[in-house]
């Protein structure tokens, strides 16, 4: 799976691999939806007595990124191998195990390989799943990242594409004309002067900037991708208000600015946090028993954002040891894969037996 390229929005080949692998194990009911999520139902119950286990198929790396697994000092190194390929591979094995070894019980399960978790995917796969099955779920588990953290709450985000346009011109002959690049730089400087309010943790970032024509051209156009993140919904609104006010002030007859919101990940809604922490403690005990190390509790932006916003208790749990997510040097410890399978089985048992 690690060698099958799957940039966000282009997960089809990995999805097909999962379908073929599952069918080869004798699992007959393997579904797919319009988002390319791969869905395996097991023992589905009426009402809300069902759970979901998911791992995302996409990675942050483009089609041009070379994928090769290299072994270095006992580690397997490859872009995307830990986020989220190894967890997805373990989920495949968990599905095989459950279908072959586990007796039916009072709780039903949807096992899912979802899409659009990374970058500007805007959690498209998770959104579609919650739209389809959310009213029948009492719990969601996302297998993602590494065993040193269990994510018990969500971080929301707003994402924007901002474009600045000016007259531009020749760098010598038209010197003095407004430059889109210079205007964008001034805008970013002003945006970074924002002081977040409230008790939550709020951040902002200009992540990608592009524009200009040549070294001797006054740029006519410049664009950037900008985001705000927070664990408080109100703080995101405040950040957005500051952004819009700043853009309004910087617009002139010589400077046009366009802004479009291109992504929104929600913060937590009203949810049973006591249940989340009770199961998180059990999963933490399990991980410590298997690995010898106790994971810390934290908050992150994951597929769980969508169910948590809907009030569905959820946890994001990593199954493997590794580091370097979103870098070309990403690695996992292959010895942790067997332990990861043990953890996955234990989490399955814990969640499906919880009432």
Task: Supply φ then ψ for residue 12, to 5 degrees.
Answer: -55, -45
How far does CA 223 lie from the centroid of its chain? Answer: 24
pLDDT value at position 355? 65
Q: How far apart are CA 193 and CA 307, in angstroms?
A: 33
pLDDT (tens digit, 0 to 9) for every residue of the chain, 355 residues total? 999 999 999 999 999 999 999 999 999 999 999 999 999 999 999 999 999 999 999 999 999 999 999 999 999 999 999 999 999 999 999 999 999 999 998 999 999 999 999 999 999 999 999 999 999 999 999 999 999 999 999 999 999 999 999 999 999 999 999 999 999 999 999 999 999 987 789 999 999 999 999 999 999 999 999 999 999 999 999 999 999 999 999 999 999 999 999 999 999 999 999 999 999 999 999 999 999 999 999 999 999 999 999 999 999 999 999 999 999 999 999 999 999 999 999 999 999 998 6
pLDDT value at position 35? 97
pLDDT value at position 354? 84
pLDDT value at position 197? 83
Look at strands 256-265 and 217-218 and give their pairing: unpaired
Q: How far apart are CA 352 and CA 106, in angstroms?
A: 8
Task: Supply φ then ψ for residue 304, to 5 degrees.
Answer: -70, -15
Residues 283, 352: contact at Cβ < 8 Å?
no
**Please, what's the largest Cα pairwise distance for the chain?**
79
Q: What is the pLDDT of residues 22-66, one digit of tens each?
A: 999 999 999 999 999 999 999 999 999 999 999 999 999 999 999
Q: What is the pLDDT of residues 291-339, one digit of tens each?
A: 999 999 999 999 999 999 999 999 999 999 999 999 999 999 999 999 9
Look at strands 314-317 and 139-143 and give their pairing: parallel
- Position of tokens 């080869």? 24
pLDDT value at position 84? 97
Which residues face 184 on adjacent strands? Answer: none
């Amino acid at each position: 799976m690690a060698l099958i390229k799957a940039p966000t929005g282009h997960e089809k080949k990995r999805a097909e691999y999962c379908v073929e692998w599952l069918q080869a194990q004798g699992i007959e009911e393997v579904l797919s939806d319009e988002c390319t999520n791969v869905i395996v139902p097991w023992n589905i119950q009426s009402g809300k007595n069902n759970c979901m286990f998911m791992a995302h198929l996409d990675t942050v790396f483009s089609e041009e990124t070379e994928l090769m697994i290299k072994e270095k000092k006992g580690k397997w190194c490859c872009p995307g191998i830990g986020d989220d390929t190894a967890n997805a591979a373990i989920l495949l094995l968990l599905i095989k195990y459950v279908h072959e070894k586990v007796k039916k019980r009072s709780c039903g399960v949807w096992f899912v390989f979802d899409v659009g978790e990374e970058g500007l995917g805007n959690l498209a796969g998770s959104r579609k799943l919650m739209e389809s099955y959310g009213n029948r779920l009492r719990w969601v588990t996302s297998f993602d990242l590494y065993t040193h953290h269990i994510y018990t709450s969500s971080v929301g985000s707003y994402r924007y594409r901002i474009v600045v346009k000016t007259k531009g011109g020749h760098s010598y002959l038209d010197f003095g004309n407004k430059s889109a690049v210079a205007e964008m730089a001034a805008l970013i400087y002003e945006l970074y002067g924002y002081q977040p309010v409230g008790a939550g943790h709020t951040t902002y970032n200009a992540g990608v900037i592009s524009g200009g024509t040549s070294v001797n051209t006054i740029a006519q156009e410049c664009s950037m991708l900008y985001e705000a993140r927070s664990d408080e919904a109100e703080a995101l609104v405040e950040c957005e208000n500051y952004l819009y006010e700043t853009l309004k002030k910087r617009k002139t007859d010589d400077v046009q600015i366009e802004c479009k919101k291109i992504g929104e990940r929600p913060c937590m809604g009203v949810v049973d946090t006591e249940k989340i922490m009770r199961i998180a403690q059990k999963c933490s005990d399990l991980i410590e028993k298997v690995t010898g190390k106790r994971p810390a509790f934290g908050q992150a932006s994951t597929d769980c954002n969508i169910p948590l916003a809907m009030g569905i208790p959820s946890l994001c749990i990593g199954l493997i040891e590794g580091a370097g997510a979103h870098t070309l040097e990403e690695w996992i410890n292959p010895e942790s894969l067997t332990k990861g399978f043990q953890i996955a089985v234990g989490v399955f048992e814990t969640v499906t037996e919880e009432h």
